[in-house]
Amino acid sequence: MRQHKLALCKEHYLEWVPEQTERFIRKYGMFGHDDKILVAVSGGKDSLSLWDILVRLGYQADGLYIGLGIDAGIGYSSESHRLAEKFANDHNLKLQVVDIEKEYGQPIPVLAQISHRGHGKPCAVCGLTKRHVMNRIARDLGYDVLATGHNLDDEAAVLFGNTLSWSVEYLLRQGPVLPSADGLARKAKPLCRLYEREMTAYAILRGIEYIYEECPFAEGSTSIYYKEVLNRLENDRPGAKLTFYLRFLEARQTGLFAESKEPADYLHPCSNCGQATSAPGLCSFCRLIEKVADQAPLVSNL
Amino acid sequence: MTVKLILRDKEFEVKPGMTLLSSLQKVNVLPESVIATREGEMILEDEILKDGDVVKLIAVISGG
Ligand SMILES: [Zn+2]
């Protein structure tokens, strides 16, 4: 069981985490020292720690902060933005900032209302928007790879959800690294083998100031529920989360899921933004923005 | 006097002399879901909690 790593003294623990990360970057062929990396930074513990680790390992890594415009009475977005900027300034790093409301006319909660997606929760629209913006910035500004702070618990929870519903199309694409495709940047998850608890310890011991408040919309979410279920399992059977994830990667590699050869599964470039999408015409993000533009007069009258 | 465990806006009290692990089990908090700190220092599961200790539990789960 790996949790004993937390018993390392502080100095060794703070060396151990980057060493492990480097090992997995190489093992899964994520990127090299010549690549320009864009780290998606939310202001949370995982993404700020990832940025910190990549820079400590000598990689060329800039940050990307996406301002979602979520306030919910606690200034969630403004506080996470402040922490991302502070980290960048303190370490003399470059942070690219995209403000959703400035670029697309409305903050995420309003975009979600207009779209009628996600049963009153903005999480689906938020995920769609973040993916689009990350790909766009990576392509427009010439980054080779997009790195996200997903840890083992994130990956195990997603895997758990996709396994419960046997969503083969998602299972085929989940992994430590996703190669670039038409209009889509290569994506890497260097922390995918580190427990969420280990990442929290890293952020604390390293003195990284991160946003501790949960996104107000994440409360009661399915992904948090799956994490709790998996933590109960881990508690009774130490190592269960890692085994679940690793055995999945092995099984897929040995052909558990066959790639579909249906032509409908081929990706097309979106006619507006060029990012790959499963149906011909506009991608779901561009359709959302079109809808927002149509309803702009309605919204301003609210 | 007792041992105080604080997790977000919740406060628990346990008897002194138990390990952190037993204390967490007593108040139904999964050890896997928190990092414990005392006076700003991280403590581990076999740490014996003393009378008057205030242990801050940092939730590790984040959504997304
Ligand atoms: Zn598009």
Give the domains, in start order, of chain B with CATH numbers: 3-59 (3.10.20.30)
Can you give the residue range of the structural domain that contains A14?
9-301
User: Strand, helix or coil at B62?
Assistant: coil
Residue B27's Cβ-count burial label (10 Å; 0-12, 13-18, 19+) is middle
Q: Are the beta carbons of A221 and B35 separated by less than 8 Å?
A: no
- Domain-embedded: residue A229: yes
In a domain, A134, yes or no: yes
Chain A within 8 Å of B61 (Cβ-Cβ)?
yes
CB contact under 8 A, A6 and B64: no
Q: Which residue of chain B comes nearest to A216, CA vs CA?
A: B63
How many angstroms separate the CA atoms of A66 and A87, rounded?
A: 15
Q: Establish if A1 belongs to a structural domain.
A: no
CA of A142 to the centre of ligand 1 (A): 19
Whether A4 maps to a domain, the answer reads no
Distance A135 CA to ligand 1 centre (A): 11
Within a domain: residue A3? Answer: no
Q: Which residues of A touch B60 (CB under 8 A)?
A: 196-197, 199-200
pLDDT at A296: 65
Q: Please give the average pLDDT of every successive group of 10 residues along chain A, which has 302 residues.
A: 70 96 98 98 97 98 96 91 98 97 93 82 91 95 97 98 93 94 91 97 96 88 94 95 97 84 70 89 92 71 48
Please tell me the distance in Å from B16's CA to the nearest CA on chain A.
22
We report the CATH number of the domain holding residue A229 as 3.40.50.620
Alpha-carbon gap, residue B49 to B53, rounded angstroms: 6
For the stretch B1-54, pLDDT in tens is: 799 999 999 999 999 999 999 999 999 999 999 999 999 999 999 999 999 999
Q: Tell me the CA–centroid distance for residue A223 and ligand 1, in Å.
A: 27
Q: Does residue A61 sit within a domain?
A: yes
Which token pair is A5?
């790593």
The domain total for chain A is: 1
